[in-house]
Amino acid sequence: MALSDIRRVLISDSLAPACAHILRSQGGIEVTESTGLTPQELIAKIQDYDGLIVRSATKVSAEVLTAGSRLKVVGRAGTGVDNVDVDAATKNGIIVMNTPTGNSISAAELTCGLILCLSRQIPQAAASMKDGKWDRKKYMGSELHGKTLGILGLGRIGKEVATRMQSFQMTTIGYDPIIPPDRVTAQFGVQQFPLEEIWPPVRLHHGVAHPCCCCPPPQVCSMTSHSPSASAACK
Ligand SMILES: NC(=O)c1ccc[n+]([C@@H]2O[C@H](COP(=O)([O-])OP(=O)(O)OC[C@H]3O[C@@H](n4cnc5c(N)ncnc54)[C@H](O)[C@@H]3O)[C@@H](O)[C@H]2O)c1
**Cα of 167 from ligand 1 centre, angstroms:** 22
**pLDDT tens-place string over residues 21-65:** 999 999 999 999 999 999 999 999 999 999 999 999 999 999 999
Q: 113 alpha carbon to ligand 1 midpoint, in Å?
A: 18
Handedness of CA 175, 177, 178, 180 (dihedral sign): positive
Evaluate if pTM is beyond 0.95: no
Taking each helix axis from N to C end, the angle separating 104-120 and 122-130, rounded to the nearest 10 degrees, works out to 70
Question: Which ligand 1 atom minimizes the distance to the CA of 206?
Answer: 41
12 C-beta neighbours (distance < 10 Å), count: 25
Q: Where are the domains of the chain?
A: 3-98, 104-234
User: Radius of gyration of the chain from Cα atoms?
Assistant: 23
| Percent over 70 (pLDDT), the chain | 84
> Which of 54, 79, 205 for mutating ligand 1's site (highest number of atoms within 8 Å of CB)?
79
User: What pLDDT is recorded for position 30?
Assistant: 97
Q: Is 12 in the pocket of ligand 1 (CB under 6 A)?
A: no
pLDDT tens digit string along 77-100?
998 899 999 999 999 999 999 998
Q: Would 3-98 and 104-234 be classified into the same CATH topology? A: yes
**Mean per-residue pLDDT over the chain, rounded:** 86
pLDDT in tens, 6-23: 999 999 999 999 999 999
pLDDT band of residue 227 (cuts 50, 70, 90) is very low
The correct answer on CATH 3.40.50.720 for the domain covering 104-234 is yes
Decide: 155 in ligand 1 pocket, CB within 6 A.
yes
Greater confidence (196 vs 228) lies with: 196
Tell which residue, 68, 62, 73, has the closest CA to residue 27.
Answer: 73
- The answer to whether residues 65 and 88 touch, using CB atoms and an 8 Å cutoff, is yes
Q: How much distance in Å is there from the Cα of 60 to the middle of ligand 1?
A: 20
pLDDT of residue 5: 87
Report the pLDDT averaged over residues 167-176. Answer: 94
Domain 3-98: what homologous superfamily? Answer: NAD(P)-binding Rossmann-like Domain (3.40.50.720)
The phi and psi torsions of 113 (rounded to 5 degrees) equal -60, -40
| 156 contact partners, CB below 8 Å, separation of at least 6 | 100, 101, 104
Give the pLDDT of residue 207: 29
Residue 68: how many other CB atoms lie within 10 Å = 25
- CA–CA distance, 155 with 210 (Å, rounded to integer): 10
pLDDT confidence of residue 199: 67
Task: State the Cα–Cα distance between residues 126 and 34, nearest whole angstrom.
Answer: 39
Whether 132 has a pLDDT exceeding 90, the answer reads yes
**Which element (helix H / strand E) includes 160?**
helix 156-166
